[in-house]
Structure 1
Amino acid sequence: MTAVTQYQMHESDLGKDANVLIMELNKGLQSPNLGEQCKAIAQFPNLLEKYPFPMVVNSIFLKITQIFCDGSNYLRLCVLRACTECRAQLEKLTICDDIVRKLMPFTSSNDPAARALTLRLFGTLSRITSEHIGVHHAILKQINSHYEVESDAAIWSSHQLASVSSAFAISLCPILCKLLNEMSSDWDVKLKLLRLGKHMHHEVQIVDQMRSCLVTMLTTYSNIEFVVSILDTLTLLTTRAPIHTTEQLDLLLRYLAEDKRPLIRQCSLRNLSILAKHVPHQWDRTHLEKLCELYNSKNQSLTELEDIVHVLCCLTDTEHAVDLLRACSQDQDRGLVPCIRSTLLRFPTSRLTILIVQLTCKLLILFANSEITEREDSLCGMKLSEFVTLVVTHFLVNETDTDCPGPWYISSKDLSEDELKLTYSLLVRLFSCHRDYATCLHEMNLWHLITPDGGPRVGLLCQFLTTLLIHLPELTTHPSIDQKNLVTVETLLERLNATKPNVKQMDNNTILAMCGLIFQLSADRFLTAKECHSLLSTIVSRIEHSDTPDQSNLRVPSTVRLSPWLAYQVARQSSRYGQHMLAANIYESLSPQSLSERSSYWIQGLIEFSKTEATVISVARRLYSSFSLVGSDDEDTQDMNRRPAQCTWVLQLIDALRCACDSALTARTTLICVGGPDTRWFQAEYVGVRADLFSALAELCSSAYHHSRFGRWPGLENVATVEQVLHAPFWLSDQLDSWDALAKRVDAFRAQCLDADKTTREHLSAIACLIAFVIRILQSLIGRFQNFDQNPAAHNYAISVSTPHQTASLSSNSDPFAAILPSLENTVRTPLDFKPVAFANFDWIPRLV
C-alpha cells in the first residue's frame, strides 16, 4: 500500500468521524430536552479542538448561532461560555458576515439581557469582527445604556475590539471623552470607562485627546480610586504610545513628592517601575536626580525606599543606563552616590541594604562591560574599593535578633532565598569583572559558616562559593592569601566532621551543594579513599540519628549507610564535577539494590561510563605531571627533522585509550539493553561516539609512534644524510579515512538531536570541531609530502589549520573540547613546517592527544 493511499484513507476516516460527531451534535441541539441541548453546546469546543478545519468550524458554528437566535437567555449564556473556551478555533471562521447578519437583530431586542449577551458574543468574536462597522455601531450605541448589565457588556466588548481595531478605537475616543467629561455620569461608570483609555494608542491624535481628558480628570476628581485608575491608565497608554513619556514621568514624580496618601504613592512607584522596564531610554538626568532626592528625604517609608531602588534596578537592565547613570552620578550631592553610601552605612543589614548592593553590583558590571576608554577606580561616582569594603563589612556583621543569631545571609527572615541567590550571582559577576578584588572574599569568613545543618541558605552559600571557584580558580592559589585563610578539602572536611549533629535533619539540596563545593576544591585530582569516607560519613551523621540501622539503607562504602536515592544523587553530583572514581564506587554499591532489570542495566551502564572517564582522566593527569617535571625533550618532539627520543609514556597512553574504548563499548551495550518506551538511545549513541573517538585517538597515537620508532634505530646515526621521501606514509591515508568516517557518524548523530538542549548541542558541535581539526592536520601532513617535491624551495611552508567559522559559535567556557581547541591549533603550527624526509619525527602527535 503506497503512502498516498494511506494518506487518503486517513483523510477519509477523519471526514467520517467528523460527520458522525456533527450529526450527534445536531441531534443534541435539536432535542426538546434542555439538558441535552446544554450538553451538546458544552461539547462543541472539544469537537472543534479535535477537528480544527474551517469547514467543520463553519458548519458547527452556524448551528450554534441558530441555537443562540432561537433559544432562551440561558442557552445563550451557555453558547457564550462555550465560545469563550474555543476563541482560537473561532478565528478560522470564514462566514463572519452571515453570523453577524443573524445576530444583529438581537442588538435591538426589548430584552436588555439578550442585548448584553449579544454584545458579549461580539466581543468574543472580536478577532473576526474587528473591522465590521455594524458591530462597532452596535457596541458604541449601548455603551451609555441605563441598564448596568448592557453597559458592562458594551464596555467589556469595547476592551476586546479597541485592542485590535484602530477604526473602532478612533470612533470610541470622542464618545469616551464626552462621557468622562459629563458631570451627570455615575462614578462607577466613569471608573469602568476611563480604563478604556489604555487602548487609545493607534493614532497620535487620539493619544493626545485621551491623555488631555484623563489629566483634566485628575484635577477634578481627587478620590484615591480615581487617581490610581487614571495614573495606571496613563502609564499603560504611555508604554504603548511613548510620545508623552517625559510628561508622565514628571506627573508620577510630582504625585510621589506631594501626595501623602500611601496608596497613591505606591501607585506612582509601581508605574515608575513599569516605565523603567518599557521605556528606559526616555528617562533623563532630572528624573533620576528627583528620584534620588526623594530617596534621601525623610518622608519615605521603608517599603517606598525599596520600591525606589527597584525602579533604579529596572533602569540598569539596559545599555542606555550606562550614560544615564554615569551622568547622574557626577553630582555628588544629588546623584546616586549619597543614596548608595548612606544605605550601606546603615547597620544592621536589612532588605533595603541588599537591594542597594544588587543595584551597585549591576552598575559596576555595566561600567565594566561598557566601551569606556578611560578606566578609573571610581565607577558610578563611588570607588570600587570603598564598595567592596562596605560589602565585606556587612557580611561580617551578625544579626542583632536574639531569635536568629548569626549572619543575615544565613538567618535573616526578611530576605527571601531568590533575592539571596540574585545577590550571590551579581557578586560572582562583579568579582569576575574585577578580579583584583576577589581576594577580599576570604575576609568575609564564608568558609567557616558551612555546616551540614544550616539548611537551604547554607546550600545557597555552597553554590555561591562553588561558582566563585569555577570563575575564579585563583582564589585557592593566590600568593596574597594568608595560609590560615587558605581552604582545602582536608580542612573543610575536618571542620564538617568536628561540628555536632543538630536535631534538624539536612535536606538533600544542601547535601548536594556541599558535595559540589568539596568536589570543586579538588577539581585537579580525585578524592582519596579517606576523603570519600569522611565526606559520606559526614552526610550520614546528619541524616540518620537512630542507632538501629535501616535495612533499606545502602552501604557506601563498607562502613557508611546512605539511602539509595540520596546515594544516586551524590554519585550524579560526583560525575558532574569530575569525581568519576567516587561515582563508579557508589554506582557499584547501588547495583545490588536495583528493583528491576531495566534499572540494573542503567546502573551498570553508568558504572562502565564512570570507569571510562576515570581511566582517561587519571592517565592524562599522570602524564601531564610527568611532562611538567621533564621538559627537556619538548624541542625534540616539536622538530620533525630531528631524531626522535625514547617516549615510553606513549604506550601507556595507548593502553589507557584502548581500555577506555572497551569500557565505553560495554557501557553502550548495557544502555541499549535498558529498552522500554523511554529507551536510552541518546545515551547509548553518545557513549558509542566517545568509544569511537577513544579508538581513533589510540590508533592515531600508535601509527605515529611506530612510524617514529624507526628513527630511533641506532644504526641511522652512521648515515650521513636521510633521503627525502616522494610520497606520504600510508598510515596517514588510513587515518584520514577512519577520521572521515567518524566525522560522518557524529554529523548523523547531531542531525538526530535537533530537539536537544543548548548545552548538549554545543558539546556535540565541539566534538565535531575537534574531529575536523584532526582531519585538517592529516590533510596538511599529506599535502606537505605531496607538494614538497614540486616546490622544494618552499621550506617555510605554512598551513592554516584553523577554521574560525566552525568555532566562532562556541564560547570558550561552553565546553571543554571547545576551550582546548584554540591552544591545540597554536601548538601544531610549528611541527607542520618540516622537510618531508624518511623516518620523520611524529612524536608530537601523541603529545597533542
Structure 2
Amino acid sequence: MDDHQQDANSALMELDKGLRAHKLGERCEAIVRFPNLFSRFPFPILINSAFLKLADAFRTGNNFLKLCVLRVAHQSTKHLDKILNVDEFMCRLYSVIHSNDPYARAITLRMLGSVACIIKDKKNAHHSIQQGLDSHDRVEQDAAIYATIQFASHSHQFASSICNKIAAMLQGLSTPLEVKLKLIPVLQHMHYDVQISSKARSVLQNLLPSFPAQDFVLTTLNTLTSLSLHSLIDVSSQVALLHQYLRCDPREALKRNSLINLNVLASKAPHLWRSEDSSALCEAYKLSTLADSLKQGILQVLCTLTDTTLLVQLDIQEVKTLFYIIDETDGSLVKLCRQCCYDADLIQAALATRLFVSISNHALHSNEHNHAILATEAMESAETLLLTLAPSSNANAQDKRALKTLVNIILPTLQHLSCDNSEIDVRLAEDIIDTSKILLETLASLVTTSSTPNILHHLTGDLFKLLKLTTEESAEHSNTDHAQKNATLICVLLFGANNKKKNVRFSTKLLDTIETPLNNWTLYRIARQASRLGQHEVAHSLFKKVSNTVASEHHYFWLTGLADLAFAESTIKETSVIGQNCSDKTVKNLHNRLCRFGAAVTPNHPLTFQCEYARLRNETLQAHAQLLSACSLIRTCPPSAAAASPTGKKNGDQNEILITRASYQMKACADWFMSVETGYSNLHMTSFDSDPKTLLNIDQLQQMSTVLPLYLL
C-alpha cells in the first residue's frame, strides 16, 4: 500500500505541475489526465485533493479550461462521493456563477449539475438554477435545464420547489416551443410525493391536446411513462392512455412509441396491470390498419407481461374440453395465441408460441388441467414452427437475419417446455435433427439445459452420420469455418446423448472421426465442451493431442495441465467409491496439473484464478481421502463381539484407544475442511466479477466444506 501511495502522490504532483504551467496546452493536457489517475488510484484523500485543484483551475481558467474540467467531472461520476471537503469544493465552483460572461455561467451550471449527487441540498445552487431558467441567453438557459434535470433526480427539496415554476413555463405563452420541449423531461422526476406527482401528470396530460406535434407527443408520453413507473400510482391510467394512442392515432411513429412504453411498463410493473389491459391489446391486434411490425410489437408486449413470475391479472378463463375439443369460451389471450401461432409471419408465430408457454405457466397456479392442455398446444405449435423453418435454413437462403431472430425467440420457449415434460425434449429434438443443421445451436442449448438425461441417446447413430458428413465437408473445402463450427455443435449433442459413466467405444469412435479432418483450434473447443459436459476421457485425449502442436512453451504447459485435470476427473468418474489407490492417483494428477499451470504463468497471463482453483480442488480431494482413512479406524479387527475376554468382558481399554484415535482423526479432517472452506471464501471474494455459474460452483463447494466439519466434530 505504501508503494501505491507513493506512486499516487508522484502522479498527483506531476499533474499539479502541469496545472501550474504557463502554456495553455500543457494545462489542458494535465486536466484531461485526471480520470486515468482516479481509475488507477481510487483513494479518497487523493481524489479529494485532485478535485480541489480542478476546482481552482475551473475558477481561474478561461472557458476552454472550464470545459475540460467539466469533461473530467462527467467521466469521474463514480468517484464524486469520495470528495471529503464538499463545501470548499462547492465554494470554489460557485464563485464563477457571478461572472458577467453568460458562457462561463452556463458552464458553471452544467458543472453544478454534473456534481449534483454531492451538493443536492445546497440552497444557493437551487437559487442559481432557477435564475438560469429565466435567462434570456439560450446557452445559459439550456445549461440551467440540464442542471434542473440532474438536481431534480437527486433532491426531493429541489423537485418540490421547482415543480410550480416548470409548470408555469410549460403553460405560459411566452416560453418558446423548443424550451418547452426540453423542459418536459424534468417532470419525470416529480415522484417524491403524491401531490407533486399528480400535479406533474396533470400538466403533462394537458399538453397532449394543446401541442399535437409528433415530437411533443413522443416526449410527453415517454415522460408520463417514466413518471408512472417511479410513482406507481398511475400505471393503469398510463396503460389506458397508451392504448388510446395505439388504436386512434394514425401516425405509425406514435403507435410504435406507445408499444415501446407499454413494453417498459410490462417489464417493470406487470403486477399493476389489469386483465382488461391485456384484453385491450388483444383487441388492438385485430385492427386492420396495423402493420405487421406493430402486431409483432403487441405480441412482444404480451410476452413481456406474462414472462414474469409475479402474480399478473390475465384474461385466462376456464379451458373447457370435451374429448379434448377446446371450447370457444376461452380468454382473449388464449384465442389470440391460437390465431397467431400458425400465422404466415414466422416472427409472429414464434412470439405467439412463446406467449402460449407463458400463459400455460401462469395457468399452473390456478388449474393443472388448463396447464396441461395449454402446454400441449404450445408444444404442437413449436413443432410446427420448427418444421416450417427448414426451407429457410438452406445455404442460399436470403433471410438469415430473420432466422437468427426466430431462433432467439424460440429458444426460451423450448427451454420452458423441456422443463415441464421430458417427452417434449425427445419430440422437439427429433424435429430439429430432421429439419436443418443451422438449428443445431438451438438444439445444443436445449440439450445442455434440459433436466432429462440422455434425451438424444436414440439419435446417436444419426448424429455420428451428420458428424461424418460435416468432417468430410471440412476436409474437402480446406477447413471452412462453417463446417468447423457445425462439427463442434454436433459433438456437444453427442456428449449430451452419451452422458454415461464410461463408454470406451463411444470415445474411440468419436476421436477417430474428428482427430484427423478438424483443425487444432476446433479440437480445443471440442475438448473444452467435453470437460464441461463430463466427457473427461475425450477431453484428455484431445488436450494431449493439441499440446504437441503448439509453438509456445507456456501454451504447452497450459494444455498439458488441462489434460492432467481431465485424466484426474475421469479417474474419479469411473469409480463409484473412491478407494485409497484411486484417491492417491487422482491427487498425483491434480498436483501435476498445478505444477504445469504454474509453469504456464506469464506476466500478461498470471492465471491466478486457475492456479488457486486447482490448488483448492487438490486440497478438497486430499481432505476426502483423509476422511476415508479416518473412517477406516472406526472398524475394529477382530469385531468387538469376537474380541471379548475369556471371562466374557470386553476389552474396554482397547476400544477406548480406538475411539480416541478415531476422534482425533475426525477432528483433523474437520480442521482440513475448514481450511478448504476459507480458501474457497477468499477465492469467491477475489473472483467477484466472474460469470454467475462459476460463482455458483464456488459457493456450492464452499457450502460443502462448511457443512462437513459440523458433522465431524
Contact 1:584 1:607 in 2 (8 A): yes
1:289 aligns with 2:279: yes
User: What pairs with 1:638-649 in structure 2 (closer than 5 Å)?
Assistant: none
Partner of 2:525: 569
Partner of 2:323: none
User: What pairs with 1:723-734 in structure 2 (closer than 5 Å)?
Assistant: 728=655, 734=661
Counterpart-to-counterpart distance in 2, 1:526 and 1:770 = 30
Specify which of 509, 515, 534 is matched with residue 491 of structure 2: 515
Partner of 1:585: 541
TM-score scaled by length of structure 1: 0.71
Deviation at 1:474, TM superposition (A): 7.5
One-letter code aligned to 1:764:
L
Counterpart-to-counterpart distance in 2, 1:272 and 1:329 = 28
Deviation at 1:138, TM superposition (A): 1.5
1:393 aligns with 2:384: yes
Q: 1:616 to 1:700 in 2, by over 3 A?
A: farther
Deviations 1:737-790 (A, max 9, x none): 4344233223212212223343432442465378559x66xx9xxxxxxxxxxx
- Secondary structure in structure 2 of the residue aligned to 1:260: coil
Deviation at 1:365, TM superposition (A): 2.8
User: What pairs with 1:119-130 in structure 2 (closer than 5 Å)?
Assistant: 119-130=109-120
Partner of 1:355: 351
Contact 1:580 1:613 in 2 (8 A): yes
One-letter code aligned to 1:760:
N
1:678 aligns with 2:658: no
Deviations 1:707-730 (A, max 9, x none): 57998x9xx9xxxx9987757486
Contact 1:665 1:688 in 2 (8 A): no
Specify which of 588, 601, 605 is matched with residue 665 of structure 1: 588
Q: 1:360 to 1:333 in 2, by over 3 A?
A: closer
Counterpart-to-counterpart distance in 2, 1:515 and 1:770 = 37
Contact 1:18 1:56 in 2 (8 A): no
Specify which of 493, 503, 511 is matched with residue 464 of structure 2: 493
Q: 1:584 to 1:708 in 2, by over 3 A?
A: farther
One-letter code aligned to 2:535:
Q
Partner of 1:445: 431
Counterpart-to-counterpart distance in 2, 1:15 and 1:592 = 46
Deviations 1:100-148 (A, max 9, x none): 5555564454432222122222222323332222221221122133221
Counterpart-to-counterpart distance in 2, 1:700 and 1:204 = 67
Give structure 1 stretches of 5+ with no counterpart.
Answer: 1-6, 477-485, 540-555, 621-652, 780-849
Deviations 1:211-247 (A, max 9, x none): 1111111111111111111111111111111222222
Deviation at 1:439, TM superposition (A): 5.4
Counterpart-to-counterpart distance in 1, 2:46 and 2:529 = 54
1:257 aligns with 2:247: yes
- Secondary structure in structure 2 of the residue aligned to 1:360: helix
> Relative CO higher for 1 or 2, CA cutoff 8 Å, sep ≥ 6?
1
One-letter code aligned to 1:379:
H
Deviation at 1:185, TM superposition (A): 2.2
Q: 1:732 to 1:610 in 2, by over 3 A?
A: farther
Partner of 1:414: 402
One-letter code aligned to 2:676:
F
User: What pairs with 1:369-380 in structure 2 (closer than 5 Å)?
Assistant: 370=365, 372=366, 374-376=367-369, 378-379=370-371
Q: 1:396 to 1:65 in 2, by over 3 A?
A: closer
Identify the structure with the greater helix proportion. Answer: 2
One-letter code aligned to 2:411:
Y
Partner of 2:677: 750
Q: 1:733 to 1:518 in 2, by over 3 A?
A: farther
Deviation at 1:598, TM superposition (A): 4.8
Counterpart-to-counterpart distance in 2, 1:217 and 1:254 = 16
Q: 1:728 to 1:54 in 2, by over 3 A?
A: closer
User: What pairs with 1:99-138 in structure 2 (closer than 5 Å)?
Assistant: 100=90, 104=94, 106-138=96-128
Deviations 1:817-841 (A, max 9, x none): xxxxxxxxxxxxxxxxxxxxxxxxx
Deviation at 1:705, TM superposition (A): 9.7
Contact 2:547 2:556 in 1 (8 A): yes
Contact 1:564 1:590 in 2 (8 A): yes
Counterpart-to-counterpart distance in 1, 2:585 and 2:243 = 71
Counterpart-to-counterpart distance in 2, 1:414 and 1:672 = 49
Q: 1:490 to 1:101 in 2, by over 3 A?
A: closer
Specify which of 472, 484, 489 is matched with residue 452 of structure 2: 472
User: What pairs with 1:19-418 in structure 2 (closer than 5 Å)?
Assistant: 20-21=13-14, 24-25=17-18, 27-28=20-21, 31=22, 33-46=23-36, 61-93=51-83, 95-98=85-88, 100=90, 104=94, 106-326=96-316, 332=329, 335-347=332-344, 350-368=346-364, 370=365, 372=366, 374-376=367-369, 378-379=370-371, 383-398=374-389, 413-416=401-404
Specify which of 482, 486, 503 is matched with residue 527 of structure 1: 503
Deviations 1:486-534 (A, max 9, x none): 72534532454367627554355543332222122222243334x4454
Partner of 2:440: 458
Contact 1:155 1:193 in 2 (8 A): yes
Q: 1:665 to 1:80 in 2, by over 3 A?
A: same
Q: 1:527 to 1:766 in 2, by over 3 A?
A: farther
Higher gyration radius (CA) = 1
Deviations 1:525-567 (A, max 9, x none): 43334x445434544xxxxxxxxxxxxxxxx4xxx36533333
Contact 2:383 2:431 in 1 (8 A): no
TM-score scaled by length of structure 2: 0.83
Partner of 2:628: 697
Give structure 2 stretches of 5+ with no counterpart.
Answer: 321-327, 685-693
One-letter code aligned to 2:174:
S
Counterpart-to-counterpart distance in 2, 1:15 and 1:608 = 43
One-letter code aligned to 1:336:
L
Counterpart-to-counterpart distance in 1, 2:453 and 2:675 = 37
Q: Kindly tell me the number of residue pairs found equivalent between the two proteins.
A: 682
Partner of 1:427: 414
Q: 1:700 to 1:123 in 2, by over 3 A?
A: closer
Contact 1:191 1:226 in 2 (8 A): yes
Q: 1:367 to 1:738 in 2, by over 3 A?
A: farther
One-letter code aligned to 1:661:
D
Contact 1:25 1:44 in 2 (8 A): no
